[in-house]
A and B are shown apart, each in its own frame.
Chain A
Amino acid sequence: MFETVDQIFVIAKQQLLVLLGFAPYWVLQIISSLVNIAGILGVFLTLFALISLFERKILARFQNRYGPNRVGPFGLLQPVADGIKMLIKEDIVPRNSDAVIHFLAPIAMVVPTMLALAVIPYGNGMTPFAIDGGILFFFAVGSATELAVFMAGWASDNKYSMLGAMRAIAQMMSYELPLIIAVLPVVMIVGSLSPDAIVAAQGRYVLGIVPHWFVLTPWGFVGFILFYISALVESNRTPFDLPEGESEIIAGHMIEYSGFKYAIFFMAEYFGMFAISGLAVTLFLGGWHAPLPFLQFIPSYLWFFLKLSVLLFVFIWLRGTLPRIRIDHMMMFAWKFMLPMTFACVIAAAVWHYASGGLYGWFGSLLVLAVAFPLLTLLLKTRQNLSVRTYRYAE
């Protein structure tokens, strides 16, 4: 019974393919892919509509006001109203802009984020695009968004958009390194780049009760936090939303976009958030596995989306709480703290591996991190160095 509920989508897809069994093999392959694509788009477009509402609601709670509550019950139809508004808005293209690139930029922005969503295991046997190098695929397509941001900033022919694009590329390139290296310990321990294998490695329960999630090991915990900070930067979220920086450069690379093109940028940002949070769930939070053995009767995909929504809530929580960080602080943080710390994480994971886990592994890797962290803060002299700003390019 529970297994049927758990596998209901997989079975439904198989039934559909059996019904179409008369078609040639390549048609079936295409249909199978199309079903997966429709599934991803359906789920995540709904989630996008929901989060655009809930983000405003939650932020409103943080700021002690009501938030959208006029359209439909509890404001639930607000995303529909927003969508219609975006669709019927005039599409303004600046006269001096490069019209073709201006048009292509939002598309080049949203396609990689959708592709990145394809390799994440959403449930037991529910990976839309299961390839051997799934993690590598994620980062390969993710790196293409930098170019899209540049296209948007350059084609708009606007100083603010160009500045925004430069900022975005600078911070995305700087934090891509800690992001990828923070993944490395997990890949090292599991010995595979496939998301399915990584989720399978976290399926056990230690002593029959504690889940064998990587976030519960010293290297995994530190790696998760480093990954999450880098994820915040990569998706341009507060406190790292300098590329948008409303008070300084209005909306950065999106300044010359209106109507539906702007909505697509907005969508790409949220899809990027879903993808990178989904990867965090897969790598560190045990994927679709239940946190306790007796909770396994709840379908796997529900667990995945529950964990995903917790991470998304933290994204919103941080947005409601933290002010924007200064760009030199952010860069210094990336290169002087994040990067060495991720390397310490890799070493801690290696210690864990050679002690073959257990108590020795625990204490060994904890020791590595406990030495690395104070050493880094001491060497950096964070308090002294961060107070003075030097202007190198803007005199």
Chain B
Amino acid sequence: MNSIAFVIIGILTLTGALAAAILPRLIHAALCLVMAFLGIAAFYFLLGAEFVGLAQILVYVGAVAVLIVFTILLTRREQEDVHIPVNWGGVLVGVAVFAALFWALLKTPLPGVQGVEIITVKQIGQVLMADYVWPLEATGVLLTAALIGSLILVLEKKAR
């Protein structure tokens, strides 16, 4: 049952990702990317990582996708239909990254699937607030700095 679901979700995710890469209209590509994001979230659910899957949907579909879509919207429409020749350098980099990741995956010793307990939200919270509290706080400070930085950029534009 799980392997059937794995194959179906895998096909959908890969189709979405591929379509995002090759579709000519940017909005279509962005929406197909959302499909790939949802597929990845489904993989997390399949593995029993409920919290990560929900966070994936909340962050990537709810925020990142909307951000991408807004960016496309606020840029000009004429630029969409310009025909771009195949970028062979990009293809080369893509293949290289894929090969490196694939090689690393093959080399990594994977733990057995059996006996993996499902981690609850509470456990994640306890780990975050006890063991990893300093990295968490540092991330918070970094994000706040980024927020203030973006605000300052906008304010300068207004003053001009």
A residues neighboring B (CB under 8 Å): 26, 98, 101, 131-133, 136-137, 139-141, 143-144, 146-147, 150-151, 154, 166, 169, 173, 176, 191-193, 392
Contact across chains for B121 and A140 when beta carbons are under 8 A apart: no
The complex places the Cα of A331 from the Cα of B49 at a distance, in Å, of 36
Does B122 reach chain A (CB closer than 8 Å)?
yes
Contact across chains for B50 and A132 when beta carbons are under 8 A apart: yes
Contact across chains for B1 and A140 when beta carbons are under 8 A apart: no
Known: A143-B57, A150-B66, A169-B66. A131 touches B50 (CB 8 A): yes
> A101: which B residues are within 8 A, CB to CB?
27-28, 31
Contact across chains for B70 and A147 when beta carbons are under 8 A apart: no
> A143: which B residues are within 8 A, CB to CB?
57-58, 61-63
The complex places the Cα of A110 from the Cα of B50 at a distance, in Å, of 23
Instruction: List 19 contacting pairs A-B, 8 Å CB cutoff, sorted by A.
Output: A131-B50, A132-B50, A132-B120, A133-B51, A133-B121, A136-B55, A136-B58, A140-B57, A143-B57, A143-B62, A144-B57, A146-B66, A147-B34, A147-B66, A154-B27, A169-B66, A176-B62, A192-B122, A193-B121
Interface SS of chain A: helix
B residues neighboring A (CB under 8 Å): 1, 27-28, 31, 34, 50-51, 54-55, 57-58, 61-63, 65-66, 69-70, 73, 120-122, 158
The complex places the Cα of A98 from the Cα of B58 at a distance, in Å, of 27
Cross-chain contact of B58 among A131, A140, A169, A191 (Cβ < 8 A): A140
Interface SS of chain B: helix
> A137: which B residues are within 8 A, CB to CB?
54
Contact across chains for A136 and B54 when beta carbons are under 8 A apart: yes
The complex places the Cα of A136 from the Cα of B57 at a distance, in Å, of 10
> B122: which A residues are within 8 A, CB to CB?
191-192
Contact across chains for A139 and B58 when beta carbons are under 8 A apart: yes
Contact across chains for B61 and A133 when beta carbons are under 8 A apart: no
Which residue of chain B is the closest to A143 with respect to CB atoms? B62
The complex places the Cα of A147 from the Cα of B73 at a distance, in Å, of 13
> B54: which A residues are within 8 A, CB to CB?
133, 136-137, 140
> A147: which B residues are within 8 A, CB to CB?
31, 34, 61, 65-66, 69
Which residue of chain B is the closest to A151 with respect to CB atoms? B31
The complex places the Cα of A146 from the Cα of B68 at a distance, in Å, of 13
Closest 3 pairs (CB-CB, A-B): A143-B62, A140-B57, A140-B58
A267 to chain B, nearest CB (A): 22
A2 to chain B, nearest CB (A): 34
Which residue of chain B is the closest to A194 with respect to CB atoms? B121
Which residue of chain B is the closest to A150 with respect to CB atoms? B69
> A131: which B residues are within 8 A, CB to CB?
50
Cross-chain contact of B121 among A136, A139, A141, A146 (Cβ < 8 A): A136
Which residue of chain A is the closest to B124 with respect to CB atoms? A133
> B50: which A residues are within 8 A, CB to CB?
131-133
The complex places the Cα of A202 from the Cα of B148 at a distance, in Å, of 40
Cross-chain contact of A169 among B1, B34, B61, B70 (Cβ < 8 A): B70
The complex places the Cα of A133 from the Cα of B54 at a distance, in Å, of 8
Which residue of chain A is the closest to B38 with respect to CB atoms? A144
The complex places the Cα of A338 from the Cα of B62 at a distance, in Å, of 21
B35 to chain A, nearest CB (A): 11
A16 to chain B, nearest CB (A): 22
Contact across chains for A146 and B62 when beta carbons are under 8 A apart: yes
A276 to chain B, nearest CB (A): 15
Known: A143-B58, A392-B158. A173 touches B66 (CB 8 A): yes
Contact across chains for A144 and B62 when beta carbons are under 8 A apart: yes
> B65: which A residues are within 8 A, CB to CB?
147
> B121: which A residues are within 8 A, CB to CB?
132-133, 136, 192-193
Contact across chains for A144 and B61 when beta carbons are under 8 A apart: yes
> B31: which A residues are within 8 A, CB to CB?
101, 147, 151
B23 to chain A, nearest CB (A): 11
The complex places the Cα of A43 from the Cα of B27 at a distance, in Å, of 37
A27 to chain B, nearest CB (A): 11
The complex places the Cα of A149 from the Cα of B1 at a distance, in Å, of 35
> B55: which A residues are within 8 A, CB to CB?
136, 140
Which residue of chain B is the closest to A144 with respect to CB atoms? B61
> A166: which B residues are within 8 A, CB to CB?
73
Cross-chain contact of A136 among B34, B51, B61, B73 (Cβ < 8 A): B51
B155 to chain A, nearest CB (A): 12
> A169: which B residues are within 8 A, CB to CB?
66, 70
Known: A26-B1, A392-B158. A140 touches B66 (CB 8 A): no
B132 to chain A, nearest CB (A): 19
> A146: which B residues are within 8 A, CB to CB?
62, 66
The complex places the Cα of A137 from the Cα of B27 at a distance, in Å, of 26
> B63: which A residues are within 8 A, CB to CB?
143
> B34: which A residues are within 8 A, CB to CB?
147
> A191: which B residues are within 8 A, CB to CB?
122
Known: A132-B120, A133-B121, A193-B121. A140 touches B62 (CB 8 A): yes
A163 to chain B, nearest CB (A): 12
